[in-house]
Amino acid sequence: MPDTDKTIISVQDVTKRFGSTVTAVDNVNLEIKEGEFFALLGPSGCGKTTLLRMIAGFETLTEGAILIDGDDVSSVEPTHRPVNMVFQSYAVFPHMTVEENVGYGLRVVGTPKAEIDSRVKEAIDLVRLSGLEQRKPNKLSGGQQQRVALARALVKKPKVLLLDEPLSALDAKLREAMQLELVRLQENVGITFIIVTHDQKEALSMANRIAVMGDGKILQIASPKTLYEYPSSSFVADFIGQVNLFDVTEQGIAHGELTLTVDELGAVVLPGVDTSRTYHKLALRPEKIGVARDKPSEIGLVAIPAKLVEDSYIGDQSHLYFETAGGKALSASVQNRDRDDHHLNKRGEKMWLYWHPAHFQPLSD
């Protein structure tokens, strides 16, 4: 977690256009705190890489300014910026050994030999590559090359480490291991990490804070939990995990509390929600929905009968797809606590779906 409140990177009204037609980054504002593990999350082509490359200095800004540790870096070459980058392709120099790769950034600035040796050794230990110092990159696995790229950047002791989809080339198992390792590493070295990813699980599990981007714009910046539980728009709600969306047909206030009317459910009371805004949608996460054969008797729950149309078993969970009498599709995900439980769900079966209205997230768009 960030230990200070100091802003290390400040992105101010930054816009990047390629030619006159492509606006890759559209008026972005960001404040990244020292020691944060920050994620830029968004679908392919939304401008994440471009934003990262502007921070590193490989793209010029069309408008706006970027401050690193308080200094405007718009006229500073990448060579002289106090940030380092881990490239998506790793870009580990093929003609140098692991040791030479890691030491490169120190050699080129004339660091004394003894200091290079000790810092290189330290960095190699940090990423657990000891014993492979003399290997050439073509004799390393993808995960090991990744570590070389990490060590090579970390050895420079940058103020900020930029990582562009660092795990996308690894297989699922290794990716999970590397996620944990990156978090551990970041806590050890205390350097600010900015990671670009289009994998929402990766962002949620690693970052302290996440900026969701869409079409060059920042849509929401929040902690993983807030982002998932309280998304600010249907794009964010839909991009981060699965979501059921209900169209709001009527908005009112009853006993001082917000009441939204939804076709399938009638009036829903949402205590404690800002009544001054207009809402168009209600979002509900599939795992918040309970599934039962009989109508739950507990009061205060929203309950609706629905027919099971599809049952997709994915091991720990099953995703159940329902259709209400009115034709509304709803998805629920249930934990498979009992080994044979999921076999009980038969297609076409009528069931009751229920949840607490507090799980509803009203959306304005």
Partner 1 sequence: MENWRNNKIAFFILSMPPTAWLMIFFTLPLAIMWVYSFADRGPQGQIELAINFDNYIRAVEWIHLGIIWKSIWTAAIATAITFAIGFPLAMGIAFAPPQWKNALLLMVILPFWTNLLIRTYAWIAVLRTRGFLNFGLEWVHDKINAFFALFGLTDLLGQFEALDLLYSHNAVVIGLVYVYLPFLVLPIYATLEKLDKSYLEASLDLGAGHWRTLFSITFPLALPGILSGCLLAFILSMGTFLTPDLLGGTDSEMIGNLIARQFTSSRDWPFGSALSFLLLYFTFIVLWVRATMADRNRGPV
Ligand X SMILES: Nc1ncnc2c1ncn2[C@@H]1O[C@H](COP(=O)(O)OP(=O)(O)OP(=O)(O)O)[C@@H](O)[C@H]1O
Distance CA 10, CA 273 (A): 32
The size of the chain, in residues, is 365
Does residue number 58 form part of the binding site for partner 1 (CB under 8 A)?
yes
Sequence-ordered list of residues with C-beta below 8 angstroms from that of 156, at least 6 positions apart, any chain: 84, 105, 106
Among positions 112-151, residues that touch partner 1 (CB under 8 A) are 136, 139
CB of 73 to Mg ion, least distance (A): 21
Distance CA 1, CA 190 (A): 9
Q: Quick one: which segment of 2-10, 44-52, 92-100, 110-118 binds ligand X (CB under 6 A)? A: 44-52
Q: Between 26 and 34, name the residue whose CB sits nearer to ligand X.
A: 26
CB of 133 to ligand X, least distance (A): 32
CB of 120 to partner 1, least distance (A): 13
CB of 66 to ligand X, least distance (A): 15
CB of 95 to partner 1, least distance (A): 5
Could you give the C-alpha distances from 297 to 227, 288, 302, in angstroms and in order?
Answer: 32, 18, 11
Does residue number 16 form part of the binding site for partner 1 (CB under 8 A)?
no
Distance CA 297, CA 344 (A): 22
> Is the alpha carbon torsion for 184, 187, 193, 195 positive or negative?
positive
Q: Which of 11, 35, 39, 49 binds ligand X (CB under 6 A)?
A: 49
Does residue number 198 form part of the binding site for ligand X (CB under 6 A)?
yes
Does residue number 33 form part of the binding site for ligand X (CB under 6 A)?
no
CB of 141 to partner 1, least distance (A): 17
One DSSP character per residue, 29-93 reads EEEEETT-EEEEE--TTSSHHHHHHHHHTSS--SEEEEEETTEE-TT--GGG-SEEEE-TT----
Q: Which of 52, 55, 56, 330 binds partner 1 (CB under 8 A)?
A: 56
Among positions 68-97, residues that touch partner 1 (CB under 8 A) are 77-80, 84-85, 87-89, 91, 93-95, 97
Distance CA 175, CA 362 (A): 34
Within a 10 A sphere around the Cβ of 357, how many other Cβ atoms? Answer: 16
Q: Quick one: which segment of 41-49, 101-109, 313-321, 339-347 binds partner 1 (CB under 8 A)? A: 101-109
Is the distance from CB of 233 to CB of 222 less than 8 angstroms? Answer: no
Residues that bind Mg ion (CB under 5 A): 49
Q: What is the size of the binding site for ligand X (CB under 6 A)? A: 12
Euclidean distance between the first and final Cα of the chain, in Å? 32
Using CB under 6 A, list all residues that contact ligand X: 18, 22, 24, 42, 44-50, 198
